[in-house]
Structure 1
Amino acid sequence: MNRVIREDIEGMLTRGDLDKLAGKSILISGANSFLMSYFIYLLLENNRENGGNTTVLALCRSRENAQTRFGDYFKDPHLRLLIQDVREPVRYDGAIDVCIHAASPAGIQSRQESRVDTFQINQLGCQNLLELAREKRSQRFFLLSSVDVYGSFGDRKRRKETDIGCLDWTYSRNAYSCGKRCAETLCALYYAQYDLPCVVVRPFQVYGPGMSLTDGRLHGDFIRQMQERNQIVLKSDGSAIRSFMYITDATHALLDVLLYGTVGETYNVCDEAGECSVKDLAKRYAAQKESNVEVVFDDTKRDTPEVKDALSIVTGDSSKLRSLGWKGRTSLEAGIERTLSYYF
């Protein structure tokens, strides 16, 4: 395991409540994602260090990608791979105490290249896992939704869980957002009709070691450009404001909601301290390197859909998450430094 990731996982092992998952069997779709991989590393290392005895059922589409993510754990008896498309019914003979649906094309490029697939993985995948959790009488169903469900707002306020913005469900580029809204609706219906204990989280932008550098998201784009050209090129004027969270803080947030969140409720996963403009973020990355990274602007991209459709401000209210005891531990500067130390 990479040094930076190992240090991150070791730091999270100091939590005193991981024993609440001892002896549990946890199914996780989208296990190959960089966010869920940290979650899985933590559970498996807690088994090794603290005798947690938690079984992880990692549902992945690609065995090859799973080999890359979890090669260090392939012989671990607590890790079991389920290789399949989540759009197909999921079968498993044993108990499933917790079911986590995190499978979804998250990168901007992958969402737009396969919009039907994107919607179906969110909607059909969620329904398949809800049915499995209902059959297994799971103690909790946990959905990773997205900040994208909020849509657009006419004002600049931070999104609260009760806010509902405008979202055109007939616009094909909204396949991801509408698929996530559909998944949240399914969770609400299964809770209402079957009393299945569902909880939903809406992560804002999470970054850190292991993220893709080619899926169109900001942090990955910046690092790839720094590697290739020693510069960062912005397609917009950089004034858009976003909320960013380092991956260990996001993992702590997921655990806090999983362990202490109220059934039937939704929680933002964001940190007001991690808010900044795209231009400021680029400058912070450039300032971390001593090789004079240049931040430049490409005005020829201003009319592309990804620039024109981008909201000027996407920030969230973390009050509900903080009420569970969560707190930010990694500043944006420290998170960028750790991320760069992984990729360089």
Structure 2
Amino acid sequence: MKIRNRKRVLVTGGAGFLGSHLCERLLKEGDDVICLDNFYTGTKDNIQHLMENPFFEVMRHDVTFPLYVEVDEIYNLACPASPIHYQFDPVQTTKTSVHGAINMLGLAKRTKARIFQASTSEVYGDPEQHPQTESYWGHVNPIGSRSCYDEGKRCAETLFFDYYRQHNLDIKVGRIFNTYGPNMHPNDGRVVSNFIMQALTDQPITIYGDGQQSRSFCYVDDLIEAFVRLMASPAEVTGPINLGNPNEFTILELAEQVIEMTHSRSKIEKRPLPDDDPKQRQPDISLAKKTLDWEPKTLLEEGLKKTIPYFENLVKAGIKQ
């Protein structure tokens, strides 16, 4: 019998929102997948349907500690990504980004693996340039309540490029903009999950500020396609590269669309704007189009139609905000 030559792929944060979708995609590609998670925000519910696959392995482990496995590729997604979760233990959040990057880069160096860093649009802070290009250095508060995440991710990028320059490591850095879809944590405080859960339970839709701050929303399947393409790109394509949907919507527009699509009786309730909340966030994806031949395909309404049933099932199961 011929033994198939499968890639051995490690996904840190593999039981989280993005990680679980990535694990599923990689298994469909025929890879041998190790899902690594400490289950701080990730959940086994997200990966339960993958457990029967003989080429899927789950490891409970925290990336702030060294890991010794043999792999060909590493997707480093481990880090709480919503303000509610990353501000709960800000020191640990910074450790996850910085120590986690050091440990995964060390693993990649030892195994000669190609490594992908899930960076974020938060590296741009509250941007003065709109839309944001990869050459923009950002407008970030280094000592604010969100800095544990913003600066942790910025430091991780620094480490990746220093390992690239100093050790010739094969790196890929993607800057992820707002993404939504099934498997989002219902209590993560992010705007899409918040609005849908509030609408489905007829609670007030909470908008911070006047609702005119804008975001760009990318459906998860489109983002995972970008991950896979970036990982498979030529070695000289290191990034950082913006990965997101350039179509821009105000928070108020999103709230009104969710209310309409869920047939909710919810009313919109305005609250004070949180510290360091960016007023605009929109990617320039020219580089992704050019180097990866990638751009999102899913319109917001279409993506919400695929996302709302997931939250409806959570509400039916008695899961609340």
Secondary structure, counterpart of 2:115 in structure 1 = strand
Which residue does the alignment assign to 1:310? 277
- Residue 293 of structure 2 aligns with an amino acid whose one-letter code is G
Which is further off, 64-73 or 170-179?
A: 64-73
Q: Which amino acid aligns with 2:26?
A: L
TM-score (norm 1): 0.84
CA shift, 1:172, in A, is 4.3
| 1:212 counterpart SS class | coil
- 2:301 pairs, out of 312, 320, 333, with 333
Q: Which residue type is aligned with residue 29 of structure 1? A: T
In structure 2, what is the equivalent of residue 278 of structure 1?
Answer: 251
SS at match of 1:144: strand
The alignment of Structure 1 onto Structure 2 pairs a total of residues equal to 307
* Inter-CA distance 111–64: structure 2 relative to 1 (3 Å threshold): closer
Q: Distance in 2 between matches of 1:281 and 1:71?
A: 31
Change (3 A) 1:343 1:171: closer
Q: Is the 8 Å Cα contact of residues 63 and 83 (structure 1) preserved in structure 2?
A: no
Structure 1 204/70 Cα, relative in aligned 2: closer, same or farther at 3 Å? Answer: same
C-alpha contact (below 8 Å) 2:203/2:267 kept by paired residues? no
Work out which of the residue numbers 154, 159, 163 in structure 1 matches 2:132.
159
Among candidates 171, 179, 184, match of residue 144 of structure 2: 171
How far apart, CA to CA, are the structure 2 residues paired with 1:229 and 1:338? 20
Share of identical aligned residues, percent? Answer: 29
Note the 1:1-344 alignment, pairs <5 A.
Answer: 23-46=6-29, 52=30, 54-62=31-39, 67-92=44-69, 95-138=70-113, 140-155=114-129, 157-260=130-233, 262-273=236-247, 275-291=248-264, 293-298=265-270, 301-302=271-272, 306=274, 308-323=275-290, 324-344=292-312
CA distance in 2, matches of 1:247, 1:70: 16
The answer to which of 159-168 and 126-135 deviates more is 159-168
Larger helix fraction of residues: 1
Q: Determine the C-alpha separation between the residues in 1 that align with 2:66 and 2:221.
A: 32
Q: Is the 8 A contact 2:141 2:147 kept in 1?
A: yes
Q: Which runs of 5+ in 2 are unaligned?
A: 313-321
Deviation at 1:204, TM superposition (A): 0.4
Q: Determine if contact 1:109/1:215 at 8 Å carries over to the other structure.
A: yes
Contact 1:25 1:55 in 2 (8 A): yes
Shift of 1:315: 0.8
Report if the CA contact (8 A) 2:126-2:277 is conserved: no
Q: Does structure 2 retain, via aligned residues, the 8 Å contact 1:150–1:166?
A: yes
RMSD: 1.9
| Aligned counterparts of 1:177 and 1:143: Cα–Cα separation in 2 | 14
Partner-residue secondary structure (3-state), 1:27: strand
Distance 1:153 1:60, change over 3 A: closer
Q: Taking structure 1 as reference, are residues 287 and 61 closer, same or farther at Cα in structure 2, changes over 3 Å only? A: same
Tell me the CA shift for residue 294 of structure 1. 3.4
Residue 64 to residue 263, structure 1, CA distance change in 2 (3 Å): closer
Question: What TM-score do you get using the length of structure 2 for normalisation?
Answer: 0.90
* Structure 1 residue ranges without an equivalent (≥5): 1-20, 47-51
| Residue 11 (structure 1) aligns with | none
Contact 1:58 1:80 in 2 (8 A): yes
- Secondary structure of 1:343's partner? helix
Say whether the 8 Å CA contact 2:197–2:311 is kept in structure 1: no
| Cα deviation code 1:30-76 (max 9, x no counterpart) | 11111111111122234xxxxx2x11011111399553222222232
